[in-house]
A and B are shown apart, each in its own frame.
Chain A
Amino acid sequence: MVTLEKRPEPSEPWRWLAPLLAVALTLVAGGVMFALLGKDPVAAIRMIFWDPLFNETFAAYARPQLLVKAAPLILIALGLSFGFRANIWNIGAEGQYIMGALAAAGVALALYPLDAWWLFPLMIVAGALGGFLWAMIPAFLRTRFGTNEILVSLMLVYVAEAFQAAMALGPMRNPEGHGFPGSRNLQDYPAAHNAELVAGTGMHWGVVTAFLAVVIGYIALNRHLFGFQVRLTGQAPRAARFAGVDADRLVVICLGISGALAGLAGMFEISGPSGQVSIDFNIGYGFTAIIVAFLGRLHPIGILLAGLLMALSYIGGELAQFGLGVPAAAIKALQGMLLFFLLGVDVFTNYRLRWKPGRAG
């Protein structure tokens, strides 16, 4: 009989080995899945994970896309990771992302056609504030009435989506848009446009912000009292209270940070790659970021890598869809496998296998 036995201390090598092993297992299982679908597994895997970066035909388009897609994922996941570590579950980053985008776009559209250097910074503040305030709703309800922030934040995603549709059809609709839903395109609004900083790289202010956030997040987690309180609360809530951590305050701060970063991600997206408030400009970054956060094991560097990997699987997935006719659902399954294997393999960080003769007790 094989049983799991808790290690006296978490294994350091496994901490690093686990993600690598998870990726390897995903490649194998994904290959089997593609083979069962009648596709060439090696070609499919190569198209998803290799071609976007190194194939001459695709890389020119795909490489910049990598940063464009990874930046919002990293930014949102990083914000979520603090709360997740402290058992504060913001599932509604998608809603905060939308509200941040709407707030930023609202400022820009209200001032149209302003030509001032301070418009873009103002939009950044508005975006962060929009996401922050939207996250304060579950924070307030939880600290005041003990409601469950998972449900409240999730429900507010649907409210935000309805609000976004109303905006796209109503106040923010482009007056010169011949009655079509959707706002003016901010890409055509120079003072508000989040343009590429270096042409052809995909690098825009959101990418810069995401990298900056990773650095600040790393410092906050390891060197600052806030990060210590977050870790303590997550690992031993009673010990945290004993150590003087104010649990309610932590709920507000963690939800606030994740809301503000999600709002920022929305702002950079609406003013750049997406450009236009439409009835459905959001494409699920807020939900995918939850996977990225866990894939990166709630660690800033891990999230950076996980965000890039996830973005790669999206871009490569699209290539494989067109190039090999792999169904979109199979790409989703592949992403799911990655998380599944990571969580599965993770067990060995804290447990080891033990071979037991006879029956288990």
Chain B
Amino acid sequence: MSDAPLLVVDGITRRYPGVVANDHVSFDVGRAEIHALLGENGAGKSTLVKIIYGLVQPDEGRMLLEGTPYAPAEPREARAAGIAMVFQHFSLFEALSVAENIALGMEDPPPMNALATRIREVSAAYGLPLDPMRLVGELSAGERQRVEIIRCLLQEPRLLIMDEPTSVLTPQEVEILFRTLRRLREEGRSILYISHKLEEIRALCDRATILRLGKVVASCDPRACSARELAEMMVGSSFTQPERTQRPFGDVVLEVKDLDLPAGSPFGTSLRNVSFKVRAGEILGIGGVAGNGQEELLAALSGERTTAAGAVRLDKEAIGRLPPNPRRARGLLSAPEERLGHAAAPDMTLTENAMMTGAVRRHLVERGFLRWQAARRFAEEIVQRFDVRTAGVEHVARSLSGGNLQKFVIGREILQAPRALVVNQPTWGVDAAAAAAIRQALIDLAEKGVAVVVISQDLDELLEISDSFAALNAGRLSEPRPTEGLGIDEIGLLMGGVHGAAPASRNGAGQEETV
């Protein structure tokens, strides 16, 4: 075998209205190499791999696969050339079995029995436990991803592309995935791996190409750089990591007691007997893989769904029956996970989005009439205080990048001076600098004596900022414990992600990155 790289990308450019998603990008992927593609949100990583996979056509530039020109007009050609891809968003039918889903993606699928046997073989060979006969709707996120990976492996690819594969996995599931990827490398296959998680990249990858605003800005050996250095290359400037502080806690502000709530959607999770207390100045981190009741918990706290009166208490007052705005009036604020469509209205301006939740506490409505001037000033205040990058508050929410919209959404609640704040996945799909800013803002809020609940599947984040930790698994919450001295293995077990045992099904739709 020659030493020539497997894939050469040469001067690839792709423009979208208003942005150059890829600007003369050149790099190569070697044989038997795990190659990381790193960059902030919107840096152009997904666009680049879609070009390699034939989903998007470049405006300029060329590619070479094993030295010969390669220009796939559609994914089928890419697959024929030995390139497979696992997407950021799964494209599976929940009502069909694993084998049926895989057959749907094949050009001429073998008989179902033969296919099931092949799936079992591959899953055994690569240590990816998966029963071909189960319904996809019953699978955890990690298992769904295995379906996608096995679908790819059945094609015996030379290059496997993975776009942010670990964002939905438990630590144990990540371990299994990494073992599989390393085995693939040993077999001489190459992997192009996209992730935000720098520690992961350092543990797994042989080389990293770093994109910023569509351009390649650096290339390095990630094992030889610190996570911090990598992050600064991505952002292009240095930024301060949030710092946790020791602070005294006050009285209990938010108390949830024996909260039961049926699932909100067919593939959602019911909450059972959830109890916790948060004191003034305390940050409670609630870990767990999304789909284990996180959305339901947020809805029960925001007031979108009501419960027994005493199940939720704010400053001792039973508020479980109150709808969202009376809760806001009392100081319980929240920010849901899904930015576009839930926390914010995509086609409304930032001013209108400020009006959306700020009306009560910021007095933006006077006897039923809207005070647009005041709403506009509030929106401008959020933009300015939280460094939201936008051309102005008259632009619609969906025109903002994910990280900037998230800063806006969190800032909108923080600037309303809450008594207690509940956030779900505050930094999901947000770039490193914005994530650091959001975490710092949450810590600052706790410093002021606010009770904060952070629901997140990013364990590093929870370990970084939370004072106590509990895991939400299959709708049940573990006993909160002080975060100090808690090991990652212990947390993994609390989260219930022990391999093979599906903790709970999840609804893929709730989790999509919508940037």
Which A residues are within 8 Å of any B CB, using their own CB? 5, 7-10, 223-226, 228, 231-232, 235-236, 238-244, 246, 352, 356-359, 361
B243 close to chain A: CB less than 8 A: no
Q: Are A9 and B399 in contact (CB under 8 A)?
A: yes
Q: Are A244 and B324 in contact (CB under 8 A)?
A: yes
Q: Are A239 and B343 in contact (CB under 8 A)?
A: yes
B304 close to chain A: CB less than 8 A: yes
Q: Are A225 and B324 in contact (CB under 8 A)?
A: no
Task: Quote the shortest CB–CB distance from B324 to chain A (angstroms).
Answer: 4
Closest 9 CB pairs of A and B: A244-B325, A244-B324, A236-B345, A238-B342, A243-B356, A239-B345, A359-B73, A361-B55, A8-B399
Q: Are A361 and B74 in contact (CB under 8 A)?
A: yes
Nearest chain-B residue to A356 (Cβ)? B57
B395 close to chain A: CB less than 8 A: yes
The stretch from B4-12, B105-113, B208-216, B364-372 touching chain A is: B364-372
Task: Quote the shortest CB–CB distance from B331 to chain A (angstroms).
Answer: 15
Q: Are A358 and B345 in contact (CB under 8 A)?
A: no
Which B residues are within 8 Å of any A CB, using their own CB? 16-18, 50, 54-57, 73-74, 302-304, 323-325, 328, 336, 338, 341-348, 352, 355-357, 359, 365, 368-370, 372, 395-396, 398-399
Task: Quote the shortest CB–CB distance from A297 to chain B (angstroms).
Answer: 14
Please give, as numbers and ranges, the residues of chain A lying within 8 Å of B348 by CB-CB distance.
Answer: 231-232, 235-236
- Which of B343, B347, B370 makes the CB contact (< 8 A) with A224? B370
Nearest chain-A residue to B305 (Cβ)? A241
- Which of A8, A228, A235 makes the CB contact (< 8 A) with B355? A228
Given the complex of chains A and B, what is the CA–CA distance between A10 and B347 in angstroms? 9
Q: Are B56 and A238 in contact (CB under 8 A)?
A: no
- Which of A226, A235, A240 makes the CB contact (< 8 A) with B346? A235
Given the complex of chains A and B, what is the CA–CA distance between A320 and B489 in angstroms? 83
Q: Are A9 and B57 in contact (CB under 8 A)?
A: no
Nearest chain-A residue to B365 (Cβ)? A225
Nearest chain-B residue to A357 (Cβ)? B57
- Which of A226, A236, A357 makes the CB contact (< 8 A) with B341? A236
Q: Are A223 and B347 in contact (CB under 8 A)?
A: no
Please give, as numbers and ranges, the residues of chain B lying within 8 Å of A240 by CB-CB distance.
Answer: 345
- Which of A5, A9, A241, A244 makes the CB contact (< 8 A) with B328? A244
Task: Quote the shortest CB–CB distance from A295 to chain B (angstroms).
Answer: 21
Given the complex of chains A and B, what is the CA–CA distance between A235 and B352 in angstroms? 12
Q: Are B347 and A235 in contact (CB under 8 A)?
A: yes
Task: Quote the shortest CB–CB distance from B374 to chain A (angstroms).
Answer: 13
Q: Are B324 and A8 in contact (CB under 8 A)?
A: no
Nearest chain-B residue to A226 (Cβ)? B368
Q: Are A235 and B370 in contact (CB under 8 A)?
A: no
- Which of A228, A243, A358 makes the CB contact (< 8 A) with B357? A243
Please give, as numbers and ranges, the residues of chain A lying within 8 Å of B357 by CB-CB distance.
Answer: 242-243
Q: Are B54 and A361 in contact (CB under 8 A)?
A: yes
Q: Are B356 and A225 in contact (CB under 8 A)?
A: no
Please give, as numbers and ranges, the residues of chain A lying within 8 Å of B398 by CB-CB distance.
Answer: 8
Please give, as numbers and ranges, the residues of chain A lying within 8 Å of B396 by CB-CB distance.
Answer: 9-10
A-B contact pairs, 18 of them (CB 8 A): A10-B347, A223-B370, A225-B359, A225-B369, A228-B370, A231-B348, A236-B342, A236-B344, A242-B336, A242-B342, A242-B343, A243-B324, A243-B357, A244-B323, A244-B325, A358-B73, A361-B55, A361-B56
Task: Quote the shortest CB–CB distance from A224 to chain B (angstroms).
Answer: 6
Given the complex of chains A and B, what is the CA–CA distance between A242 and B56 in angstroms? 36
Nearest chain-B residue to A354 (Cβ)? B17
Q: Given contacts A8-B399, A10-B347, A226-B368, is CB(A239)–CB(B17) below 8 Å?
A: no
Q: Are B74 and A359 in contact (CB under 8 A)?
A: yes
Nearest chain-B residue to A236 (Cβ)? B345
Task: Quote the shortest CB–CB distance from B17 to chain A (angstroms).
Answer: 6
Please give, as numbers and ranges, the residues of chain B lying within 8 Å of A242 by CB-CB distance.
Answer: 302, 304, 324, 336, 342-343, 356-357
Nearest chain-A residue to B344 (Cβ)? A239
Q: Given contacts A224-B369, A241-B304, A243-B357, is CB(A5)–CB(B324) below 8 Å?
A: no
Task: Quote the shortest CB–CB distance from A307 to chain B (angstroms).
Answer: 26
Given the complex of chains A and B, what is the CA–CA distance between A10 and B398 in angstroms? 11
Please give, as numbers and ranges, the residues of chain B lying within 8 Å of A358 by CB-CB distance.
Answer: 57, 73
Task: Quote the shortest CB–CB distance from A305 to chain B (angstroms).
Answer: 24
Please give, as numbers and ranges, the residues of chain A lying within 8 Å of B355 by CB-CB distance.
Answer: 228
Please give, as numbers and ranges, the residues of chain B lying within 8 Å of A239 by CB-CB distance.
Answer: 341-345, 356
Q: Are A232 and B345 in contact (CB under 8 A)?
A: yes
Given the complex of chains A and B, what is the CA–CA distance between A352 and B18 in angstroms? 13
Task: Quote the shortest CB–CB distance from B421 to chain A (angstroms).
Answer: 14
Given the complex of chains A and B, what is the CA–CA distance between A356 and B55 in angstroms? 13
Given the complex of chains A and B, what is the CA–CA distance between A5 and B17 in angstroms? 9
Please give, as numbers and ranges, the residues of chain A lying within 8 Å of B356 by CB-CB distance.
Answer: 232, 239, 242-243
Please give, as numbers and ranges, the residues of chain A lying within 8 Å of B341 by CB-CB distance.
Answer: 236, 238-239
Please give, as numbers and ranges, the residues of chain B lying within 8 Å of A235 by CB-CB distance.
Answer: 345-348
Given the complex of chains A and B, what is the CA–CA distance between A236 and B303 in angstroms? 17
Task: Quote the shortest CB–CB distance from B270 to chain A (angstroms).
Answer: 19
Please give, as numbers and ranges, the residues of chain B lying within 8 Å of A10 by CB-CB distance.
Answer: 347, 396
Interface centre among A9, A236, A239 (most CB of B within 10 A): A239
Please give, as numbers and ranges, the residues of chain B lying within 8 Å of A243 by CB-CB distance.
Answer: 324, 356-357
Given the complex of chains A and B, what is the CA–CA distance between A359 and B344 in angstroms? 35
Please give, as numbers and ranges, the residues of chain B lying within 8 Å of A241 by CB-CB distance.
Answer: 304, 324
Given the complex of chains A and B, what is the CA–CA distance between A361 and B57 in angstroms? 7
Q: Are A236 and B57 in contact (CB under 8 A)?
A: no
Given the complex of chains A and B, what is the CA–CA distance between A304 and B462 in angstroms? 56
Given the complex of chains A and B, what is the CA–CA distance between A307 and B199 in angstroms? 63
Q: Given contacts A5-B17, A243-B356, A246-B323, is CB(A225)–CB(B370) below 8 Å?
A: yes
Please give, as numbers and ranges, the residues of chain B lying within 8 Å of A7 by CB-CB distance.
Answer: 17
Given the complex of chains A and B, what is the CA–CA distance between A238 and B338 in angstroms? 10
Please give, as numbers and ranges, the residues of chain A lying within 8 Å of B57 by CB-CB distance.
Answer: 356-359, 361
Given the complex of chains A and B, what is the CA–CA distance between A244 and B323 in angstroms? 7
Interface centre among B18, B356, B368 (most CB of A within 10 A): B356
Given the complex of chains A and B, what is the CA–CA distance between A215 and B359 in angstroms? 25
Please give, as numbers and ranges, the residues of chain B lying within 8 Å of A246 by CB-CB distance.
Answer: 323
Nearest chain-B residue to A358 (Cβ)? B57
Given the complex of chains A and B, what is the CA–CA distance between A8 and B397 in angstroms? 10
Interface centre among A232, A242, A356, A357 (most CB of B within 10 A): A242
Task: Quote the shortest CB–CB distance from B327 to chain A (angstroms).
Answer: 9
Given the complex of chains A and B, what is the CA–CA distance between A44 and B74 in angstroms? 51
Task: Quote the shortest CB–CB distance from B329 to chain A (angstroms).
Answer: 10
Nearest chain-A residue to B375 (Cβ)? A228
Given the complex of chains A and B, what is the CA–CA distance between A5 and B348 in angstroms? 20
Task: Quote the shortest CB–CB distance from A259 to chain B (angstroms).
Answer: 22
Q: Are B17 and A352 in contact (CB under 8 A)?
A: yes
Given the complex of chains A and B, what is the CA–CA distance between A58 and B336 in angstroms? 62
Please give, as numbers and ranges, the residues of chain A lying within 8 Å of B365 by CB-CB distance.
Answer: 225
Question: Given contacts A225-B359, A235-B347, could you give 14 more A-B pairs where the C-beta distance is less than 8 Å?
Answer: A5-B17, A8-B398, A9-B395, A9-B396, A224-B368, A225-B365, A225-B368, A239-B342, A239-B343, A239-B345, A242-B324, A243-B356, A244-B325, A359-B74
Given the complex of chains A and B, what is the CA–CA distance between A204 and B401 in angstroms? 53
Given the complex of chains A and B, what is the CA–CA distance between A224 and B368 in angstroms? 6
